[in-house]
Structure 1
């Protein structure tokens, strides 16, 4: 693997929508810089550098106050790049780590001190974590107080994962709603199955994010808005939002981040919903300590 890829828009538009004060972009990443933080030899993609300066400039351009930086799979379980970005944020970022299940309690405590507040389990087929699920459960029982588990999967394995998720002893955040088929609409089988998961326990949060990944109709992603708005309305205290910048593996699409922000009032049309989605809910998950 030698060709480095660019997956982000070089000149995103200024959003028409203005986020409320204190708004959090609660799902974004950093790549490198590679010279300082090499990518994992197991990485399935090799991106161009997208470091903290770029992320924080985008944050300000889009009108957000804070970031939650999720460890990118291209960095494997070496969280140094994410920790570096958090350290350079002047208190305006927290993070989600990816860890080897054999990580020690001392190493988890060091991640906490560095601003991490969760760990991510990736079950996406093309980026799948190979550790047995019982190892993931074991580490989830040793997390520092106030942490949660983030899970990324595709809709077709939701039922397979239900017993695993039921056994996780800390709150859960589902990335991108478990990638439902939004063309089925708000009452389609994928969304019904996801609602059943949310109804199974009260401490599952979700990210109504990534129309560029989930809506084949393309920008302005009308099918996404139609399918997702009812979910946000029915579970207003359990959703958080993020850009997904720099959009790993989206090099053939390059979504305009300004347009992604303009999706927010389409899925959360009231000021009350927007305040919960962008401020109250992420603050509770990441800055409550």
Structure 2
């Protein structure tokens, strides 16, 4: 049991009471990027963490899943828990097969420990390259871990910012397992989606057919925010996070079989506003504009990446 902990000053708690989305998701939809935090009294936060969040339990996550209309979740290990995946594994067990996990592991992890995580529902490992959140994992450590997870059919999730892609491009391109990029590599949406910076990210996807990306977290990328832009007022087309749409829609349309979407609940480290998760769901048809694209984004792609083994068994 952990002792008392204090949230990071200015921490924004997740919004309890999201709206019911008007967008109706296809059957089997997956929230492919979300987290659990603690509760800290039961699952202590890592001593080396760079932030202390509010609690966000598995039960609260699954209540949100049902309210928004998702069928399943992919729970990503939160950096505040470090490489202690206990809270993640507990949530996977509580999901009764309706969740998969992405863990954080160290280079000394054993085959037996990996087998236990696989049995719990883990299907990938995450490496964070955002310097303000974690100390960057050495590339040789990542290579060692990839060699250990490859026999399990797992993938690697990477989180980085657009300005760091030139430095990491060749290294990422050499990773020999499926690679999932969080949040489109955090593009600067004040720049041109046809410009050099985002163009490099699109080239990265084109040149590496094993690379997927999440087109999620408009609330992190947006400058305009959750309100309608001035030119939209009175038009009947008042959408949220409109400035992110050209970037995400382009990725969905060019790479429809390699995109995922998630809420990012409970939205760690936001500074200016806490999103309404129902409004985030209503953002989806702005970037996946047809029923076919929506089904690929929300159902087919995450099932193929996370449930291929169990879905094949159930269909036999």
- TM-score scaled by structure 1? 0.97
Q: 3-state DSSP class of the match of 2:201?
A: helix
Instruction: Indicate if the aligned counterparts of 2:83 and 2:105 stay in contact, CA closer than 8 A.
Output: yes
Supply the distance in 1 between the matched residues of 2:108 and 2:275 (Cα, whole angstroms).
37
1:192 to 195, 199, 202: 199
Partner of 2:165 in structure 1? 158
Q: How does 1:56-205 map to 2 (within 5 A)?
A: 56-143=62-149, 144-205=151-212
Q: How far apart are residue 7 of structure 1 and its match?
A: 3.2
Compare 228-237 and 129-138 and name the one that shifted more.
129-138
Supply the distance in 2 between the matched residues of 1:121 and 1:3 (Cα, whole angstroms).
24
State the Cα RMSD in Å.
1.3
Supply the distance in 2 between the matched residues of 1:23 and 1:87 (Cα, whole angstroms).
20
Unaligned runs of 5+ residues in structure 2 are 227-239, 310-316
Partner of 1:236 in structure 2? 256
Q: How far apart are residue 131 of structure 1 and its match?
A: 3.3
Q: How far apart are residue 6 of structure 1 and its match?
A: 4.1
Partner of 1:224 in structure 2? 244
1:251/1:186 CA distance change after superposition, 3 Å: closer
Compare 43-52 and 169-178 and name the one that shifted more.
43-52
Q: How far apart are residue 192 of structure 1 and its match?
A: 0.6
Q: 3-state DSSP class of the match of 1:156?
A: helix
2:50 corresponds to 1:30: no
Partner of 1:288 in structure 2? 308
Instruction: Indicate if the aligned counterparts of 2:129 and 2:137 stay in contact, CA closer than 8 A.
Output: no
Q: 3-state DSSP class of the match of 1:170?
A: coil
Supply the distance in 2 between the matched residues of 1:87 and 1:198 (Cα, whole angstroms).
34
- TM-score scaled by structure 2? 0.89
Q: How does 1:40-51 map to 2 (within 5 A)?
A: 40-51=46-57
Q: 3-state DSSP class of the match of 2:31?
A: strand
Q: Which runs of 4+ in 1 moved over 4 A?
A: none
Supply the distance in 1 between the matched residues of 2:278 and 2:65 (Cα, whole angstroms).
11
Q: How far apart are residue 96 of structure 1 and its match?
A: 0.1
Partner of 1:21 in structure 2? 27
Compare 203-212 and 225-234 and name the one that shifted more.
225-234
Q: 3-state DSSP class of the match of 2:132?
A: helix
- Give the total of aligned pairs: 289
Look at both structures and tell me which one has the larger radius of gyration over its CA atoms. Answer: 2
Supply the distance in 2 between the matched residues of 1:152 and 1:260 (Cα, whole angstroms).
20
Q: How far apart are residue 42 of structure 1 and its match?
A: 1.1
Compare 148-157 and 41-50 and name the one that shifted more.
41-50
Partner of 1:55 in structure 2? 61
Q: 3-state DSSP class of the match of 2:102?
A: strand
1:162-192 C-alpha deviation (Å, 9 max, x unpaired):
1211221100000001001122243122221
Q: 3-state DSSP class of the match of 1:11?
A: coil
